[in-house]
Structure 1
Amino acid sequence: MGKTSKDKRDIYYRLAKEEGWRARSAFKLLQINEEYNIFNGVLRAVDLCAAPGSWSQVLTKNLRQNAVNTEDVKIVAVDLQAMAALPGVKQIQGDITKQETANAIIEEFQGLKADLVVCDGAPDVTGLHDIDEYVQSQLLLAALNITTHVLKNGGTFVAKIFRGKDVSLLYSQLKQFFKLVTVSKPRSSRNSSIEAFVICEKYNPPEDYVPNMVNPLLDHKYFDLNSDFNSFTGINRFIVPFNACGDLSAYDSDTSYSLLLEGQTSYEYKNPIQSPINPPYKDVLEKTKKLKINHVPK
């Protein structure tokens, strides 16, 4: 989270800094939980594409508050890049498309499966909506693939989705694995963004389904490229309910507010509670510098 003037005008950015969240996205998960109560009874949770860790922070705080014994709560955060440590969160630096990552998650749960899997991952957007939607759909399905390995029957899956003209195909795929699928737009998600979140409840895979990481669920080679995925009929035609999450009278993320929050008389910049970790390129530069010093030609 930078210090640009646009960021300062974002009410959720400033609230995140005030409350110690690593990113404003923490409010999206909080508002989803307010609407769907997805944390109820959850002891084992997985945060896919977790960096910088705001959703892991939310999981840690809420699950431990609700648990009778906090030692029973286990949270695993998975990401390709390193992430600053969080108390009570086990980190796995790995690829969600690999079988070994799924095995590592189950190993952390001592052979048990997760009650909840969340994924706030998204590609670097290009601004070309068709490309962004396709790449995001592949990321969502990669998250779904690993979820079929680690989620218990009856569990819940929450993931980011970019809504587009062919989104009905994604809904149909998700409906094959969950009894209840809903799309929600949290109040803290900007109206100008095409992002939303699928809340998939009551995991119930098809009979005799064997989880695998080999075949993507969404692949155009199985479909006519000129087909209209919104023209599905019968069991394949499923209209997913759409809900707005969060108090509709609360802050609007697309509206500019005064720098002074309620109760403040002056604005004071606050440094992040936890400094970010060094990016990998800095470590490489430091090692290169040391090598040059130790190998000065005589």
Structure 2
Amino acid sequence: MGKFTKDKRVQRNSSYSKQDIYYRKAKEDQFRARSAYKLLQIDDSFQIFRQVERAIDLCAAPGSWSQVLVKKLTEKNYLPSESCRIVSVDLQEMAPLDHVTQIQGDITKKTTVDEILKKFNYQRADIIVCDGAPDVTGFHDIDYYIQSQLIVAALNICLMTLRDNGIFVAKIFKGSDIKLLYSQFKLFFNQVYFMKPKSSRASSVEYFIICLQYTPKISTLNFHLYTFLKEIEQAEKQKQQEIIDQETEKEQSKYYKFITCGDLSGFDEN
């Protein structure tokens, strides 16, 4: 019964996608996913590609945002080029794209940052985009938390690879602490905006944060933001320590038990 219900749901979602205008348009324009139009519509509003020569696409698979980057840099006559202009990063292996240098890596790792810089011959990027999202659990608080930690990891890469006055665009989930997110990004960017493109489904909780003019108001020298992996590892260690402490306390309690019997009248008064 469960399998039948699941198959029906998949069939219904597939049918819904085929009726979607952006799904059909993506097929016509040969984009790998309808999400390409979200980035194009963000550009229509903010002209984010106006001064871009080098770009980084984080959580890039299946590659639709990288395709948009290729389109925009080709229009500006920066592609084809002998030097690396676009670097895409994802944990998954992605089908090759012309003019895109791919890194299969983890955006929470320092080694990934080093590899990005090496591909750019240690020049910094003009724009960093990130359309990454966790596998949705259905529990909004958990999904929102994991998504926010992805943003932290992406911002960490910005600190080490984005040039002054550079641009950062990323997916976020709408939540109650959006004002806090705004104030935090204002420490690094002069202008911060939130936008929901027309191509984003109305039922989706996704929004996009657009950060312009990267100008850190705090020193980023030898400064790195935490990533959610470290936090999870710390929580796991703490949980294991609590279990050990409980077992130790239980073991020691065996020796603290006293057995008493009788009363004071039982003692010899002499």
Q: CA deviation at 1:172?
A: 1.4
| TM-score normalised to structure 2 length | 0.76
Instruction: State yes or no: 1:128 paired with 2:108.
Output: no
Q: CA deviation at 1:53?
A: 0.2
Out of 47, 54, 59, the position equivalent to 1:49 is 59
Letter in 1 for 2:44: E
Q: Unmatched 5+ residue regions in structure 1?
A: 221-298
Q: Is the 8 A contact 1:145 1:212 kept in 2?
A: no
Map of 1:186 onto structure 2: 197
| TM-score normalised to structure 1 length | 0.69
Map of 1:80 onto structure 2: 91
Out of 142, 146, 159, the position equivalent to 2:153 is 142
Q: 2-side partners of 1:213 and 1:98: how far apart?
A: 11
Out of 48, 63, 69, the position equivalent to 1:38 is 48
Q: Which has the higher helix share?
A: 2
DSSP 3-state at the match of 2:221? coil
Q: 2-side partners of 1:69 and 1:184: how far apart?
A: 29
Instruction: State yes or no: 1:161 paired with 2:138.
Output: no
CA 33–129 in structure 1, closer or farther in 2 if over 3 Å, else same:
same
Q: CA deviation at 1:3?
A: 8.7
Aligned length: 218
For residues 150-198 of structure 1, what are the alpha-carbon distances to aligned partners after superposition, in whole Å with 9 as ceiling and x for unaligned? 0001000000011111222211111110000000110000111110100
Q: Unmatched 5+ residue regions in structure 2?
A: 1-11, 232-270
Q: Is the 8 A contact 2:117 2:124 kept in 1?
A: yes
Out of 23, 30, 41, the position equivalent to 1:13 is 23
Q: CA deviation at 1:111?
A: 1.1
DSSP 3-state at the match of 2:157? helix
Letter in 1 for 2:162: L
Q: 2-side partners of 1:3 and 1:168: how far apart?
A: 33
Map of 1:110 onto structure 2: 121
Counting only pairs closer than 5 Å after superposition, residues 275-290 of structure 1 correspond to structure 2 as none
Runs of 4+ in 1 over 3 A off after TM superposition: 211-214
Q: CA deviation at 1:147?
A: 1.2
Q: Is the 8 A contact 1:96 1:102 kept in 2?
A: yes
Q: Is the 8 A contact 1:118 1:158 kept in 2?
A: yes
Larger RCO (CA within 8 A; separation ≥ 6) = 1
DSSP 3-state at the match of 1:186? coil
Q: CA deviation at 1:208?
A: 2.5
Q: Is the 8 A contact 2:58 2:107 kept in 1?
A: yes
Letter in 2 for 1:126: T
Larger CA Rg, structure 1 vs 2: 2
Q: CA deviation at 1:82?
A: 0.3
Q: 2-side partners of 1:23 and 1:59: how far apart?
A: 14
Q: 1-side partners of 2:76 and 2:16: how far apart?
A: 36
Q: CA deviation at 1:205?
A: 1.2
Map of 1:172 onto structure 2: 183
Q: CA deviation at 1:70?
A: 3.9
Q: CA deviation at 1:206?
A: 2.6
Map of 1:241 onto structure 2: none
Identity %: 55
CA 153–51 in structure 1, closer or farther in 2 if over 3 Å, else same:
same
Q: 2-side partners of 1:121 and 1:24: how far apart?
A: 14
Q: 1-side partners of 2:67 and 2:215: how far apart?
A: 28
Counting only pairs closer than 5 Å after superposition, residues 237-252 of structure 1 correspond to structure 2 as none
Q: CA deviation at 1:207?
A: 4.0
Counting only pairs closer than 5 Å after superposition, residues 218-237 of structure 1 correspond to structure 2 as none
For residues 247-286 of structure 1, what are the alpha-carbon distances to aligned partners after superposition, in whole Å with 9 as ceiling and x for unaligned? xxxxxxxxxxxxxxxxxxxxxxxxxxxxxxxxxxxxxxxx
Q: Is the 8 A contact 1:63 1:73 kept in 2?
A: no
Q: Is the 8 A contact 1:45 1:76 kept in 2?
A: yes
Q: 1-side partners of 2:118 and 2:158: how far apart?
A: 15
DSSP 3-state at the match of 2:193? strand
DSSP 3-state at the match of 1:4? helix
Q: 2-side partners of 1:172 and 1:143: how far apart?
A: 17
